[in-house]
A = this chain, B = another copy of it.
Amino acid sequence: MIDPEERLERMTRLLREKGCRLTPQRLALLKIIARAEGHPSAERIYELIKKDFPTTSLATIYNTLNLLKDMGEVLELNFDNLGSRYDGNKPYPHPHIICLACGQILDSEFMAMAGVALEMAQKTGFHITHYHLNFFGLCPECQQKKANS
């Protein structure tokens, strides 16, 4: 995990440079996604922000997330069915591994993907900008639970 405070500092700086206003709601959201351990949904971020700013609207969450997404500072993750999840700590494409039973989403470093993408580009003639690689299955704990039931 990248240093959350470093991410926070970078994102606030970029917003300022872009001429965007640093409202309290925005700052609260930046803190949440920079420091988040997991991959929170918009709804989850909404709940967290409402603790400090009870009048906040969900639309503001989406607006700010989209703003950061367009700046390349937040990665939006789309999995089956479930709504989007957001990653503000590692905003570049990287593989994930998702437990179908408990829903946890783990990051995974897999550097070989760069080579795979290159090979794909050469084979197809595409100019590849990004990729999604997600593995689905059961985490060790959920395998155990299943075995014991």
Interface residues of A (CB under 8 A from B): 76, 78-80, 95, 97, 99-100, 106, 108, 110, 112, 116-117, 120-121, 123-140, 143
State how many angstroms separate the Cβ of A101 from the closest Cβ of chain B: 10
Q: Which one of B120, B127, B139 contacts A126 once the chains associate, using CB atoms below 8 Å?
A: B139
What residues on B are CB-neighbors of A117 within 8 Å?
135
Are B129 and A137 in contact, with the CB atoms below 8 A?
Answer: yes
Of all A-B residue pairs in the complex, the 4 with the closest CB atoms, nearest first, are A128-B137, A125-B140, A131-B135, A127-B138
What residues on B are CB-neighbors of A106 within 8 Å?
124
Are B139 and A135 in contact, with the CB atoms below 8 A?
Answer: no
What residues on B are CB-neighbors of A121 within 8 Å?
137
